[in-house]
Structure 1
Amino acid sequence: MVRARIGFGSDQSGATMVEMAIVMPLLLTLLLGFVDFGYAFYQWNAANKAVQMGARLAQISTPVASGLALEAKTPSDATLVGTAVPANTYNYICTANTAGAVSCVCGTGATCQSLAASQASFDFIYTGSSGRAGMQKFLPNLKKSEVRIQYQASGLGYWTRPNGPVPTITVSITNHPFQFFFLGGLLGFGNITMPSMLSTVTGEDLKSTFP
């Protein structure tokens, strides 16, 4: 009887299976975690490319802020004609609601001639056209409500400039979530908000048609 107890205590059969049962979930979680965070890094790169393309499209197309066409035409003081338009004289910030409808507001310390917004211009930057990829092409799950387009007086250009103002254009992505697939299912990880990212350019050819 004593020998049987000693033999049972020293029996190693099945130990490998027990160890594997303990270690395998940890290894699987680690492996799938690498996959998920790799995909998050891919989304980060895609979002960076999306804001770069959005800024480029905003640079060469009709402004979303329709009132921008009125800026730099006539200063309040006639003696300023031909002089530089001061930085932040105007500051249009255009965003879309959850339904995708765009609107513009005037930034702090600026004076905006008109807050009218062009839905067609915003949609062009977001979606693109047959000849140009828009922001959504690079980040398919991007929502219109996550896009922010700003036109701000840069200090370049001058009053009564024939081709209009020369704004600094900033295209941003805000409140966009990283999506976790494996970790979300295994460990209940919720999506986390991606840090805001932006791309800034100087207005180049703000024409009245879309390329």
Structure 2
Amino acid sequence: MDLNSEADENIKNEQKQEEEEEEKQHFHVLAVDDSNIDRKLLERLLTVSSYQVTCVDSGDKALEYLGLLDIEENEFSRTSISSSKSSQKKASKVNLIMTDYSMPGITGYDLLKRVKGSTWKDVPVVVMSSENIPSRINMCLEGGAEEFLLKPVKLADLRKLHSHLLNTTNINDTKEQNDSIIDDDLNNNTNKRKVTSPENSERRPRIQELPVS
């Protein structure tokens, strides 16, 4: 390979990396872990990788954030949900859910099943655990998990999730386009239904025939 070809290849690689970094900024990850240390580590890794991340400390709060759990008193969630950005992203923009397996109450597997049985079924779910138990791993993968990662999660693990995020982004874009089309159709139909009443419509003037002399 000559110097010019090598330089062109380096430029292409740099452009590809820049495009990937720009794409990551649009990806929103919901991280679920009852361990404060593991949750902070995961949040840091995702933030360093240019992902937007929202962290919650239980499966119940993850379901609440996704709108899958009705809770009358939400005051506790104000302090338990933290975002890497100053403004919290809407749940409709979640591109990936990463959850610990062993949690009190709703486990990671329970959360996986609830998500896959809801309107969020197209969002990839990654289950994490510090225990390498083959039966548990197979159960989660058969239940719809995209990946099963062993803790502690590393940056190399997050790189493997990029393709899943791209697929989810395309799904979300299609949904937004369909919603926009539906809204436009509804507005057009509403306008068409507006009919002017006969009283307000212009009446044709009567033509008076003159007598023939």
TM-score w.r.t. the length of structure 2 is 0.28
User: Which structure carries more relative contact order (alpha carbon 8 Å, separation 6+)?
Assistant: 1
TM-score w.r.t. the length of structure 1 is 0.28
Q: Which has the higher helix share?
A: 2
